[in-house]
Structure 1
Amino acid sequence: MLRSPLADVHIPAVTIYDYLFSELDETTLDAVAIVDGTTGAETTYRQLVAQIGLFAGALAARGIAVGDRVGVLCPNVPAFATVFHGILRAGATATTINSLYTPDEIANQLDDAGAEWLVTVSPLLAGAKAAAAQRGIADDHLIVLDGADGHPSLRDLLGEGHPAPDVTFDPATHLAVLPYSSGTTGRPKGVMLTHRNLVANVAQCRPLLDVDHTDRVLAVLPFFHIYGMTVLLNFALRQRAGLVTMPRFDLPEFLRIIAEHRTTWVFVAPPIAVALAKHPVVDQYDLSAVKVIFSGAAPLDGALAAAVATRLGCEVVQGYGMTETSPAVNLIPAGRPEIDKSSIGPLVPNTEARIVDPETGADLAVPAEGDSAAGELWVRGPQVMVGYLNRPDATAEMLDADGWLHTGDIATVSADGMFRIVDRLKELIKYKGYQVAPAVLEAVLLEHPLVADAAVIGANDDDGQEVPKAFVVPQKDAALTAEDVMTFVAARVAPHEKVRQVEFIDAIPKSASGKILRKDLRMRDRG
């Protein structure tokens, strides 16, 4: 068993709201908490705390109580922080929803989470309204933050002046959030994360990420995703930094916001790193304020990290985590040039790990020098989820009786405690940081009348980034093209779930039990 080389940190037994905001004093209350990157509008910590309390009070006045579930379908705008923490302050549980989801996908999550309320914004109202109708959520339970006829608005709710309710629950067991993840395989499942999980992971990040009140942190990675939720929305606020929001990625706008707001820490996923390394428009902006580019959500190639660092004159580091671990498990600290930037760094504090042979279940030894043999990474710590909502079977597959979470990622560890992800045991595809479950796409492909069989894996594009690739067995004598396949799928899934590559094949390799042998397909793809 391996432990973090860093000293354990204290994890207070408080709610995430109390952990983030209870220690604010007069010197920090009037500091800027959030900046709308698009408009430049600023919200101070004093204003944010007041808004959170009023939103919680308005929810309580409408009967929302401890344990109720509220859906949040909202891009990165300052109001997200008010809504998210207002829901949690009221004792309810927030289920954050991908802004790119189709109405059916939104409705499925609302239904699975048991949400009776939904919060959105007018640009997403059409999909939200269709999903709410499927779920049976009435118009007065569909809050439209920027206003829409027949729906409560944020201005309406804050204007009512209800104080935050006095609620009591155990932070160690009470669910704060229900983000959805495919885990190692299958359709998305509700990940049960408690207040303690969220508090723990912010506390675990603090010794490694040198962010403070003098920093401006760019938040382009979505708050609905656990990476944005913990490492941006919660961590940056706990460090009293100024959080600069961006509702969607657009490269010139991204660069303009960095330049104009002098952001010092920029959290990205690898596709944004590719643009920073290669796109000519980058040279048109003054990015000199950037101290650190931090990449997560998918593996970052060491050569790409070096190219970004050289071009921007900053440090580039990365980390590793999962929705099921709140998310941070490993982080490369800034200011450690000796650490190989293609690694994922050391374990965060209070975290244990094992490298396990997938065939034998035996722990692999850490050598006196160099790297260990490759095995499945298992982790244990206070950031690990309670389990999957209403899915004891899936929980048991992922989380064993001793609290070890089986990540499905193949890793090595060096003698000095640096981890490296080298392959994937699990089936999940990471496209631009978003999770894509092959089983979902395979089900869609099999709906096509000219498709006899299909399988989906992650394959690399020209930039070395993972994309969904379909192996398709056509019906006999079918006139089917790759473009036909991609168009069919695109009409039925969210944009990040589209099939990006297609290869026709005579038969899908399967085990005797009928399980798709994706390892064989990955070997075929690599040639």
Structure 2
Amino acid sequence: MFRSPYPDVEVPNLSVFDYLFAQLSDDDLERTALIDGPSGARWSYRDLRDQAVAVAGALAARGLRPGDVVGLLCPNTPAFAVVFHGALRAGLTVTTINSLYTPDEIAAQLADSSARLLITVSPLAQGASAAAEKVGLEPGDVVVLDGPGEAADGHPSLRDWLTAGQPAPDVRFDPATHLAVLPYSSGTTGLAKGVMLTHRNLVANVAQSAPTLEMVHDDVVLAVLPFFHIYGMTVLLNLALSQRAALVTMPRFDLEQFLALVEQHRCTYLFIAPPIAVALAKHPLVEGHDLASVHTIFSGAAPLDAALGHAVEARIGCRMKQGYGMTELSPVSHAIPPSVDLPLDSVGYTLPNTECKLLDPATGEEIAVPDDGESAPGELLVRGPQVMAGYLNNPLATSDTLEPDGFLHTGDIATVTSEGVVRIVERLKELIKYHGYQVAPAELEALLLSSPDVADVAVIGVRDEDGEEVPKAYVVVQPGHELDEQGVRDYVAARVAPHKKVRKVEFVEAIPKSSSGKILRKDLRAREAGRL
């Protein structure tokens, strides 16, 4: 096993709300916590805390009790932070939902998590209401934050909650076992599952990340990565608030607005995914903006190419770093500290309070850390206070991922140097990472098989012209039917969120399978490799 070169940090036995807001000083209360990017409106730490407390009171007044689940379908806005932390203050569990989801996908998550309430915004209200109806929620169980308005008719709003004057409930629970959030992840394989993260998981990961990511209270952080994703939730929302930094929120990525907000608010620390790095390295719009305030750009959610990262450094004049994690790790387990010069094709050091080991994927034997140089590759396993409690209502998937001794299988192949620097080599898991979002091949295959024109199908990730991993479908057409590439694309696009769309299609006579009927994806990958 190997550990972090950093000493362990204290993980206080507190709820997320108490950890972030109970110790605010008088000076902290007046600091800017949130800036709404599009409007420029500001929330101080006092505003955020007091409004979250008011939301907690309103939720309790509705009869919601600790342990109840509420769905939050909302892009990055200050209201997200208010409602998210208000729900946690009330002892509720928040299942955050991808803003791009279709009504069917929203309904599936609401049903699986047993959510009693769905909170959204007016642009998403129609889909949210349709999803809520599918799972038996009433119109009054759909809260439209930015009401009143046509889309919010018949629905409570954030204004209603903030003006209700209901006292926050007196709730008591064990942070080590009480679930704070239920984000959904496909894990190492298969369909999306509810990842049970406790208050201690989230508090621990913020405490662990603080010395490694080196954010300080004078930082102005642009929040473009979605808060509904665990990366945005922990590294942006919670870490920034814990350090008393200022967060500038963006509801969706637009390069022109991204650059303008960095310039306008003199943002200092940017957290991105690799597709944004491509734009920063290559797009001509960058030349028209003053980005001199940026000292660090940190990439996550998918592997960053080292040459691309160095191109961003040279063009922006900042430090480029990256890290590694997964939803099941709350999510961070490794990071390159801004002040440390490590190879950019690595994910840096293991976080404090965290142990790792590498297992030979063929034998299961533990791979030794070398005295010099780099180890042999092996599957990365991680143990620490950030490791999830398990998958909701799925003991089999939990036991497949979590060892009895607490180590979590990441499904990723890694190496480690004698100095403890970790490099991710490739993925064992079959998940496709499209622009940082997870796409499960099994989900797309099941969807395409529902088409009467498709006899069989397999989906893998392939590289497009820009080097991004995209879903490609190998399709066997039903005898007597006609189907073209656009027909396959359209069938999927009408039924899934945009990031799950099939981007490439190839028609084949048969899907390669093992004797047990399992798709031989390695044969399809070899087929793709033969074309390079």
Which TM-score bucket, shorter chain as reference? over 0.9
- 1:506 deviates by 2.8
**Whole-angstrom distance in 1 between the partners of 2:229 and 2:396:** 24
Counterpart residue number, 1:402: 405
Show the 5 A alignment for 1:456-475. 456-475=459-478
CA RMSD for the aligned pairs?
Answer: 1.0
SS in 2 for 1:67: coil
**Whole-angstrom distance in 2 between the partners of 1:103 and 1:113:** 15
- Give the TM-score normalised by the residue count of structure 1: 0.98
Residue type of the alignment partner of 1:441: L
Counterpart residue number, 2:272: 268
Counterpart residue number, 2:193: 189
1:463-517 residue CA offsets vs partner (Å, 9 max, x unmatched)? 2221111122233465432222112111111100001111223322222211112
Show the 5 A alignment for 1:131-280. 131-147=131-147, 148-280=152-284
Corresponding position: 1:494 with 2:497: yes
**Whole-angstrom distance in 2 between the partners of 1:448 and 1:251:** 37
Counterpart residue number, 1:449: 452
Counterpart residue number, 1:32: 32
- 1:166 deviates by 0.7
Residue type of the alignment partner of 1:144: V
Residue type of the alignment partner of 2:49: V
Corresponding position: 1:70 with 2:74: no
Residue type of the alignment partner of 2:242: R
> Which sits farther off after the overlay, 464-473 or 398-407?
464-473
Residue type of the alignment partner of 1:247: P
- 1:139 deviates by 1.5
> Which sits farther off after the overlay, 384-393 or 477-486?
477-486
1:241-279 residue CA offsets vs partner (Å, 9 max, x unmatched)? 000000001111111111111111111111111111111
Which consecutive unaligned segments of at least 5 residues does structure 2 have? none
**Whole-angstrom distance in 1 between the partners of 2:58 and 2:41:** 24
Residue type of the alignment partner of 2:392: L
**Whole-angstrom distance in 1 between the partners of 2:416 and 2:523:** 26
Counterpart residue number, 1:358: 361
**Whole-angstrom distance in 2 between the partners of 1:78 and 1:423:** 37
SS in 1 for 2:6: coil
SS in 1 for 2:349: coil
- 1:40 deviates by 0.6
- 1:522 deviates by 1.7
Counterpart residue number, 1:303: 307
> Which sits farther off after the overlay, 506-515 or 104-113?
506-515
Counterpart residue number, 2:318: 314
**Whole-angstrom distance in 2 between the partners of 1:411 and 1:176:** 30
Corresponding position: 1:376 with 2:376: no
1:424-464 residue CA offsets vs partner (Å, 9 max, x unmatched)? 11111111111110000001121223322111111111222
1:404-442 residue CA offsets vs partner (Å, 9 max, x unmatched)? 111111111111111111111111111111111000000
**Whole-angstrom distance in 2 between the partners of 1:402 and 1:495:** 39
Corresponding position: 1:336 with 2:334: no
Show the 5 A alignment for 1:40-119. 40-119=40-119
1:186-221 residue CA offsets vs partner (Å, 9 max, x unmatched)? 111000000000000000001111211111000000
Residue type of the alignment partner of 1:507: A
- Equivalent residue in structure 2 for 1:516, among 503, 506, 519: 519
**Whole-angstrom distance in 2 between the partners of 1:417 and 1:519:** 31
1:383-405 residue CA offsets vs partner (Å, 9 max, x unmatched)? 00000000001111111111111
**Whole-angstrom distance in 2 between the partners of 1:11 and 1:453:** 50
Residue type of the alignment partner of 1:349: P
- 1:151 deviates by 0.8
**Whole-angstrom distance in 1 between the partners of 2:524 and 2:510:** 11
**Whole-angstrom distance in 2 between the partners of 1:519 and 1:123:** 42
> Which sits farther off after the overlay, 509-518 or 62-71?
509-518
Counterpart residue number, 1:388: 391
**Whole-angstrom distance in 1 between the partners of 2:467 and 2:33:** 36
SS in 1 for 2:363: coil
Residue type of the alignment partner of 2:310: A
Show the 5 A alignment for 1:6-21. 6-21=6-21
> Which sits farther off after the overlay, 510-519 or 182-191?
510-519
SS in 2 for 1:455: strand
Residue type of the alignment partner of 1:112: D
- 1:342 deviates by 1.2
Counterpart residue number, 1:421: 424
Corresponding position: 1:281 with 2:285: yes
**Whole-angstrom distance in 1 between the partners of 2:114 and 2:478:** 40
- Give the TM-score normalised by the residue count of structure 2: 0.97
Q: How many pairs are equivalent?
A: 526
Residue type of the alignment partner of 1:229: M
Which consecutive unaligned segments of at least 5 residues does structure 1 have? none
**Whole-angstrom distance in 2 between the partners of 1:240 and 1:514:** 54
**Whole-angstrom distance in 2 between the partners of 1:264 and 1:229:** 19
Residue type of the alignment partner of 1:123: P
Residue type of the alignment partner of 1:269: A
SS in 2 for 1:40: coil
Counterpart residue number, 1:125: 125
Residue type of the alignment partner of 1:86: G
**Whole-angstrom distance in 1 between the partners of 2:340 and 2:368:** 26
SS in 2 for 1:299: coil
**Whole-angstrom distance in 2 between the partners of 1:278 and 1:145:** 37
1:350-371 residue CA offsets vs partner (Å, 9 max, x unmatched)? 1111111112110112222221
**Whole-angstrom distance in 2 between the partners of 1:165 and 1:245:** 29
